[in-house]
A and B are shown apart, each in its own frame.
Chain A
Amino acid sequence: GCAAQPGSDIPTSSQPRRGGRLRVAFAGGGAQETLDPHLANLFLEASRSKAMFDKLADYGADVSIVPRLASKWEAGKGLSTWRVTLRAAAFHDGRPVRAADVLHSYARIADEKRTFRAKANLALIDLRNSRAIGDRTVEFALKRPYAEFPNVLAAFGAYIVPEGADEFSRPVGSGPFAFGSFQPGRSLLLKRFAGHWDGAPYVDELEYLIANEESARVNAVLGGQAEYAHDLTPATARTHENGGRMAVVRLSNSGMQAFAMKVDRPPFDDPQLRQAMFLLADRSQMVDSVLSGAGQPGNDLFGKDYLYYAADLPQRTPDLERATWLIDRAGAKGMRIQLDTSAAASGFIEAASVFADQARQAGLDITAKTGNKDTYWADVLNKGTICCYRSGAMPIETHISQRLLSHSTTNATKWARPEFDALYDKAVGTGDETRRRALYLDMQRTLHAEGGFLVWGFADWLLGTSPRLRGVVNAPANTLDWARFDKVWLG
């Protein structure tokens, strides 16, 4: 369900109109960027890939899986083979999308020698034993039983490219827009693809403009140079919200904001101290100060409002007294703790600053250390004790498998428990939906009680759109309807 909720004073009832060139402004990767959809990493690249290519499935607004190129999928016996049926669709050059294209695309992503982002998601597929059954059906063999296979089809960057494609200076895909022209670091011009299976876009042309500076994106919309500005700060949103020259769209629940404590080393190997941290955090103040109010408080769990989210667990509220008592018991009173932060994501520096203040009131001496923003993620993965952390939208299952299992490769909290791993294996090994839900709830209960993530909030993702632009819907970043331009129109 994608509730259409465009910016404040735009009437939602207006009829879609054909035509025009839609210009959208994103922060970009500079002159070095490429159009290879499998290399997509930045929001800009994700949105461009989505415009030119399709995945087999994608995330809905609650991060459940919605079919795209795949019209349906069904598990074989034992959940270790999956049969996926493709719908009738065509690439921009007229060739139909076939099972061979799917296999080629997945093989390319999973290539041992390469490092595409979705590679980890696809690792479960035994491609050698997977095969095409006719042009429109693919049978995937998995390395072990896996109930959440549709998550793989929707993985970030798992786009379908034509068989043999390995060079993307003039990309050909099956998405709603076809390649027009490209100036690296400046702009990408796309043209409406009339033959798109999901209905052709309303606009004739789509131009991606690159403006790294937020103020420039906003000014481009205000000055009529663009119709859509991606990623605004809350302060900017508040500035222009009521000005009438730009509509602000809030994509709620787009980003988890957290502190990641490493549970395998002092001081946070002590559950009491983690508990104290959970209790001393004043989440609503964080949301107010750091997100300028553009978000909701978190409850130390990933994926608020997503499928399988444990919404029933009690919301934590600050309890300084108990936090202080716990800190005392943990023998950490007055302890100096270094909180790693950097400009790697917006809000990190502010979050560290505000949190350090709150911790001080409970008797902890937290100092923020600003690290290099470019290598931040690698730096904090194994080093330090507590760091700022954020995550975009993904299924809760993916979050767990990538970050919270003993063998997870990006386990920033060093959460490694055999009994937790077992729960996970059970969950993805059962085809029974209710049982799976119960298992996820169990896992989340453990994490809520003593996990390493202090999830203090969920940030809204903020967009600025020109009043002319209609049809922009509220969907968390990285989901299907976010930054999707085939269903919007210029009024």
Chain B
Amino acid sequence: MSLTRYALRRLLLGVVQVVAVATLVFVLTEALPGDAAVVLAGDIPDEERISRLREALELDRPAVERWAGWLAGLAGGDLGGSLVSGRPVAGVLAAGLPPTLVLAGLTLLLLVPVSVGAGVAAAVWQGGLLDRVLTTVTVGLYAIPEFALGVVLVALFAVRLGWFPPTAVGAPANLLEQPALLVLPLVVLLARPVCSISRLVRAGMIDALGSGYVAHARRLGLSLWRVRLAHALPNALAPAAQQLARTADWLLGGVIVVESVFVIPGLGTLLNDSVAARDVPVIQALCVLFAATTVAANLAADLASYRLAPAAAGTR
């Protein structure tokens, strides 16, 4: 079976998966204690009030019926309205998407060269000082929770030194208009993935550098770095590509911590809020979006894996 056919089959499966995730999430939110009415009632959980709210939100209809209605709407491209504000869900999503896309896109753009670079450097000088320093720094950063890192960076570089704005409150809707805003969030977002990916690249690189084809490529007079980057590196990337896909997935799902520390209202905040509010239509729509990105990221990573191990792609 060719890779194209494989990809097509996976995409078809993906549609099924997305619907399955949406269903699963629907079931999960149904099973969550309390519904939007209870949450809306807040600290005056008067029973009559709750049942009125339930009526108003049409939560008194059977779950299956609501689910079917939602699915029918989805098929027609209608995501419904938010339970809490009544605004169309599509609009709510559209507002949260751009910041997430900007953050995720820029992070990924920087992540690949930085983490691959660090991994390659550590592998090339394996056991040397640079390797140890890189290991210590990346693993050390990894072991600091995002929150702490974010807050310390803001305290130092934004509040104390004033180099960057501390948060994005009052920033233009398009974050790219004010690039200084993005520096600290990107640093925080990069800290952990750089570690996990560069460690995997390093491990793969060390194996690849010791292989016969690398030695032979050097014999063939190819320059040292060309051999490392064009010959050893592709062989080292398969696990890192998977991790990269996970990271992309994580980033596109919105990163609650960074979003809240820097006040960037993206999809993560939206998910957090709508789960807190049990705003099922918004949760559902978000999960469809996330499931789609997950399926896409996984497919891309799997295709990359096969491209990076062509022999395995050929079997069966």
Contacts and interface: CB of A to CB of B under 8 A. Distances in A.
Nearest to A119: B49
B65 interface: no
A445 B270 CA distance: 47
A375 B42 CA distance: 7
Nearest to B54: A115
Kindly list the 5 A-B residue pairs having the minimum CB-CB distance in the complex, ordered from nearest: A375-B34, A30-B273, A223-B166, A378-B45, A409-B46
Given A31-B96, A32-B282, A115-B53, A210 B265 contact: yes
B158 to A, nearest CB: 5
B158 A32 contact: no
A114 interface: yes
A222 interface: yes
A114 B56 contact: yes
B132 interface: no
Contact of A209 (B48, B170, B260, B274): B170
B249 interface: no
Interface stretch (B81-89, B137-145, B231-239): B81-89
A115 B49 contact: yes
A232 interface: no
A372 B46 contact: no
Interface of A: 23, 25, 29-34, 41, 113-115, 117, 119-120, 183-187, 207, 209-213, 215-216, 219-220, 222-223, 225-226, 245, 344, 372-375, 377-379, 381, 402, 409-410
Given A32-B277, A223-B162, A378 B50 contact: yes
B44 A377 contact: yes
Nearest to A380: B45
Contacts of B63: none
B180 to A, nearest CB: 12
Interface in B264-280: 265, 269-270, 272-279
B33 interface: yes
26 contacts: A30-B274, A31-B85, A31-B273, A32-B84, A115-B52, A115-B53, A120-B49, A183-B95, A184-B95, A209-B263, A210-B263, A211-B167, A211-B263, A213-B260, A213-B263, A215-B151, A216-B262, A219-B166, A219-B167, A220-B263, A225-B166, A226-B170, A378-B41, A379-B33, A381-B45, A409-B49
B3 interface: no
A183 B173 contact: yes
A46 to B, nearest CB: 12
Given A29-B273, A32-B277, A41-B42, A378 B34 contact: yes
B42 A219 contact: no
A120 B46 contact: yes
Contacts of A372: 32-34
Given A215-B261, A222-B159, A225-B169, A375 B95 contact: no
Contacts of B272: 30
Contacts of A185: 95-96, 265, 269-270, 273
Nearest to A345: B43
B95 A225 contact: no
Given A31-B92, A215-B151, A219-B158, A207 B170 contact: yes
A207 B170 CA distance: 9
A231 to B, nearest CB: 14
Contacts of A29: 84, 273, 277
Contacts of B169: 23, 25, 187, 209-211, 216, 220, 225-226
B42 A32 contact: no
Interface residues of B, number: 56
Contact of B269 (A119, A183, A212): A212
Nearest to B164: A223
Nearest to B277: A32
Nearest to B85: A32
B82 A32 contact: yes
Contacts, number: 160
A378 B167 CA distance: 35
B154 interface: yes
B289 to A, nearest CB: 14
Interface in B50-78: 50, 52-53, 55-56
Contacts of A222: 159, 166
A31 B271 CA distance: 10
A37 to B, nearest CB: 15
Given A23-B170, A378-B41, A30 B269 contact: yes
A409 B47 contact: yes
B45 A377 contact: yes
B150 to A, nearest CB: 8
Contacts of A373: 276
Contacts of A114: 52, 56
Nearest to A35: B85
Contacts of B269: 30-31, 185, 212
Given A30-B273, A184-B85, A219-B158, A374 B173 contact: no
A381 B45 CA distance: 7
Interface string B157-180: 011001001110110010000000
A18 to B, nearest CB: 22
Contact of B277 (A23, A117, A374): A374
A312 to B, nearest CB: 30
Contacts of B263: 209-213, 216, 220
Nearest to B45: A378
Nearest to A189: B170
Contacts of B278: 374
A184 B87 contact: yes
B38 interface: yes
A33 B85 contact: yes
Given A31-B269, A187-B169, A379-B33, 4 more contacts: A185-B96, A223-B165, A225-B166, A377-B42
Contacts of A209: 169-170, 263
Contacts of A375: 33-34, 38-39
Contacts of A23: 169-170
A222 B173 CA distance: 22
Contact of A223 (B53, B95, B167): B167
Contacts of A377: 41-45
From A25, A226, A378, name the one whose CB has the most chain B CB atoms within 10 angstroms: A378
B265 A219 contact: no
Nearest to A186: B265
A219 B159 contact: yes
